[in-house]
Structures are given as C-alpha cells and as structure tokens.
Amino acid sequence: MTRAFRLAFAVALLAALVAPPALAADPRLPTVVVLATGGTIAGAAASDVQAGYTSGQVGVEQLLAAVPQAKKLAVMRGEQVANIGSQDMNDEVWLKLARRVNEIAAMPDVDGIVITHGTDTIEETGYFLNLVVKSKKPVVLTAAMRPSTALSADGPLNFYNAVAVAANKDAAGRGVLVVVNDWIHGASSLTKASTTAVQTFLSPLRGLVGVVAYGEAEFYRGPVGRNTVDSEFSLDGVTALPRVDIVMAHENMDGAIIDAAVAAGAKGIVIAGVGNGNMTEAGLKALATQAKKGIVCVRSSRVVTGRVGRNVEIDDDKLALVASDDLNPQKSRVLLRLALLKPRSLAEIQRLFVEY
Ligand code: ASP
C-alpha cells in the first residue's frame, strides 16, 4: 500500500465514521403525521383486475411502507384512527378524528397532517374538519378509487402527493385540503362526481386550490369560505351532534319522508331539491309545516353545480326556510348539524350558509 493510498483510505474511513447513518431521519425534513381511517386506499382484492374488494384491509404501517418514496419528503409517523369503508363513517369516528387532529396540530414538532379516507364520504369529513380544526397547519385528506392490490392503483401516488402538500409551507392557512389525482381541492368545494373513475372529484363553482404533480405543488388561491382558525364552531364539550336528515325531491313527492325524519328525531332537514332547491307543492307544504314547529329546513339542490338562492321560486321569508347558497346537500347537513349545537335564529343560520 503506497503512502498516498493509505492516506486516502484513512480519509475515506474517517468520513464514513463521522457521516450520519444512511437511514437516519433527515432533521431538515418536515414532520407529517398520518392518520388512517380506512377506505379503498387501504382496500384489498383477491386479484388485481376484479371490481369486488373490501375497504379498510391494510393498516397504517403497511400504507407507509408501501410508499417509501414519501420518506424523502417528510419524517412520518402513523396512527390508526379507524379502518372502515367511508360509507360507514360515523359521529364517533368524526369526533375522535377531529380531537386528534387538533391535538396533533398543536404539537410544535408537527408540520402537517395527512388523513387517509374512503372517497365516498371524504367531502363530508373534510368539510367537518374544515369547520372544527383550530390550526393553520396543513391538514390534507387523501383517498383512492382503486384498492391497493389493483392494476394501476392510484393510492400510492395520491398518498405521495398528499404528504408533499402537507409538508409544504405554502399549504398552510388554506383550510382543510383534499388531494386526489393531482388536484388540490378545498374541503368546502369538492364533490364526488363518478362512481368508478379515478378522476372522480370536482370542485364546481369554487374551483381548485392548486395542483400537485409528483410532489411538486402549485397553489392558485386560498380557500373560499370561513374555515379552521376563522371558524366560529368548536367541539369543546360536544359529545353528540344533532340529527339532520337529507330528503331528496322528485316527481310526485309527498311529505311522508319529511314527517318521518322529524318523527325519527331530526332537528333539521336538508332538501336535495330539484333545480334551484325546488320541490312539489305537497313536499313544500310538509316542509313549511315542520319549519313552523321549529325544525330548521334548508333548501339545497340535487343538481351537481349552481347556487340555491333565497326567494327565487319559493318564498323563503314567508315559509321560514333557509337557502343553502353553494353548499350541496351533504355539506349543508354538516354545517347545519354544527349550527344546531346552540340556539340560533333563522337569520343567523342563513348567514352561516353564506359565510362558510
Ligand atoms: N367505499 C369506499 C370508501 O369510501 C370507496 C373508496 O374509498 O373509494 O371507503
């Protein structure tokens, strides 16, 4: 061994000894906590080309391990909040999830939160969190249309993009976000528009907050509607949410379902109306009768896009009804449940539908 070679070898050895181990967490990376709730993103099927599968089969640790590329974006830790198909989403999971998001967001070492969820009700959970999370830190929901075992599964890249957005400082203060199929939606705007297509989510009226491709995010604007730290809603002391039912309007509608909802304990009713929140004379009569008794009745629309304005074809002032503005029936229900946590006048509830 020549002297020069011995010197080079010694320098290389020293460098290897002082260098951090290759697998150690990079202290400069943001910290993202992943809360898993189930859904198709954690779903599994017996083969890679079959339509039938079961949601919520894969645990959070498997989910993290399946996308090792995301470890270059953030230091991650995972928690399993639930493992259900989101068609089974319920108040117990909502309250637990919202409390945990608030706790984690308050931790100084946490930069962002990713929530994995099913696509069926992600717009409702996202909007609920948008109203009750008290933090400007990025809270990003993501999902998948195809189970983890499918040919061309969309979950891994959606997850990667969601981690990238949650780790991105520019995502802060934009309300709760939903990242699916390269698009960044505001939780208040998105809606599921296809039962099976990967490009299922749209943000009609309010538009996209931004886009994200292979982790590179571009933000176009802030959220529309009051949210998170600017929201007047809080879950402090809340153990249950009031019942609000959605009734869909249709040809030959009568008032039977409206009356049945109230009999079942609904304190509020949201009509998924035809057109601009319309319904039959019989439906309207039943609704106005319940409104007079103090049930809060909101007119929304079963049409996928467009606002429902006050006093257009229906005299809301005279019948004591609320117009949903641009919230669809499922989001109107979420807002109304929170609104009914304390006594409010109809004028105040109408204000909420305009502001949120
Ligand atoms: N039913 C599934 C769920 O919402 C669908 C999905 O995740 O795409 O959990």
E strand spans, the chain: 31-38, 75-84, 112-116, 139-142, 177-180, 183-186, 191-192, 201-202, 210-213, 216-219, 244-248, 268-273, 296-301, 322-323
Which residue CA neighbors atom 3 of ligand 1 most closely? Answer: 118
Closest CA to 326 of 355, 349, 348: 355
Please provide residue 113's backbone torsions phi and psi, each rounded to the nearest 5 degrees.
-130, 135
Task: For residue 121, give the ligand 1 atom closest to its CA.
Answer: 4
Active site residue 149: no
DSSP-assigned letter for residue 350: H
Task: For residue 143, give the ligand 1 atom closest to its CA.
Answer: 7
Q: What per-residue string of b and e applies to 139-157 under the rule 16 or more CB within 10 Å gives b?
A: bbbbbbbbbbbbeebbbbb
Task: Report pTM.
Answer: 0.91
- Single out the catalytic residue among 2, 31, 37, 40: 40
Burial of 266 (0-12, 13-18, 19+ CB in 10 A): buried
Residue 351, helix vs strand vs coil: helix
Report the C-alpha gap between 48 and 31 in whole angstroms.
Answer: 33
Q: How far is the CA of 179 from the centre of ligand 1 (A)?
A: 15
Phi-psi region of 307 (alpha: psi -120 to 50; beta: other; left: phi over 0): beta
Question: Could you list the pLDDT tens digit for every one of the 356 residues in the chain?
Answer: 444 444 443 444 334 444 444 445 566 899 999 999 999 998 888 888 888 988 889 999 999 999 999 999 999 999 999 999 999 999 999 999 999 999 999 999 999 999 999 999 999 999 999 999 999 999 999 999 999 889 999 999 999 999 999 999 999 999 999 999 999 999 999 999 999 999 999 999 999 999 999 999 999 998 889 999 999 999 999 999 999 999 999 999 999 999 999 999 999 999 999 999 999 999 999 999 999 999 999 999 999 999 999 999 999 999 999 999 999 999 999 999 999 999 999 999 999 999 99
